[in-house]
């Protein structure tokens, strides 16, 4: 006879063996009643008492479960480390700012004094002197473009570093020679 587990009864029960099974010597015989194990039915669950198993203890309202406290502490530690690293890296590597535009450089030619595009604003300009084989440069400040002698406000020839002051009343300036004139930054 063969044994089959009966889930309703919670034990193995004997059922008759099919005829082919009894005749095959390679198949071991079915277990006997002494070989069967009594299984407790599902209606009688085994629940350990809290004294036997401390992890089944009811959580108390005044204290967080140990896993939650560890996760909270780990999260706080992570945030503190991230802030510290950000402060250290932030002080060593400042955020790049937009570079100031290069000041315009004015070369030989006739330039109109004004605030519009392609004009030379009034102010102080400086040069490092003539470049190349040339020995001097000059500039002529103009009060007007009529060609009269009264239209010339001033002129100067330079052989080295020099400065030029264009006033708001100037109409234009004529730059001659291989000097580059750039606005001088205000002092102070």
pLDDT digits (tens, 9 = 90+) for 8-18: 777 777 777 66
The pLDDT of residue 111: 94
Predicted confidence (pLDDT) at residue 56 exceeds the cutoff of 80: no
Q: How far, in Å, are 60, 128, 166, 178 from residue 47 at the CA level? A: 20, 96, 99, 101
Predicted confidence (pLDDT) at residue 92 exceeds the cutoff of 70: no
List the beta bridge partners of residue 127: 162
Average per-residue pLDDT for the chain: 77
The pLDDT of residue 99: 79
Among candidate residues 9, 69, 16, 5, the one with its CA nearest the CA of residue 43:
9
Predicted confidence (pLDDT) at residue 85 exceeds the cutoff of 90: no
Tokens of 125: 């300009």
* CA–CA distance, 114 with 109 (Å, rounded to integer): 16
Q: Are 44 and 25 in contact (CB under 8 A)?
A: no
Q: Name the residue ranges covered by the structural domains of the chain.
A: 1-55, 109-183
129 or 83, which is more confident: 129
Q: What is the mean pLDDT of residues 29-34?
A: 60
List the beta bridge partners of residue 4: 13
59 or 129, which is more confident: 129
Query: Can you list the alpha helix ranges (DSSP code H) found in the chain?
Result: 19-23, 66-92
Distance from first CA to last CA of the chain, Å, rounded?
113
Phi first, then psi, for residue 86 (nearest 5°) are -65, -40
Q: What is the mean pLDDT of residues 51-73?
A: 62
Q: Give Cβ neighbours of residue 154 (< 8 Å, ≥ 6 apart).
A: 140, 141
The pLDDT of residue 178: 92
Per-residue pLDDT tens digits for 129-187 = 998 888 899 999 999 988 888 889 999 999 999 999 999 999 999 999 999 999 987 66
The pLDDT of residue 120: 92
Tokens of 103: 């000041």
The pLDDT of residue 133: 86
């Amino acid at each position: 006879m063969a044994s089959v587990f009966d889930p309703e009864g919670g034990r193995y029960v004997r059922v008759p063996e099919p005829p082919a099974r009894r005749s095959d010597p390679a198949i071991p015989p079915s277990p006997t009643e002494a070989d069967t194990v009594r299984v407790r039915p599902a209606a009688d669950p085994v629940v350990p008492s809290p004294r036997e198993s401390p992890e089944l203890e009811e959580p108390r309202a005044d204290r967080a479960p140990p896993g939650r406290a560890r996760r909270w502490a780990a999260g706080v530690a992570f945030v503190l480390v991230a802030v510290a690293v950000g402060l250290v890296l932030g002080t060593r590597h400042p955020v790049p700012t937009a570079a100031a535009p290069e000041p315009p450089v004015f070369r030989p030619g006739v330039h109109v004094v004004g605030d519009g595009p392609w004009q030379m604003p009034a102010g102080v300009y400086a040069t490092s002197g003539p470049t190349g084989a040339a020995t001097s440069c000059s500039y002529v400040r103009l009060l007007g473009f009529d060609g009269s002698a009264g239209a010339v406000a001033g002129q100067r020839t330079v052989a080295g570093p020099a400065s030029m002051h264009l006033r708001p009343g100037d109409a234009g300036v004529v730059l001659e020679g291989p000097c580059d004139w750039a606005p001088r930054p205000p002092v102070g």
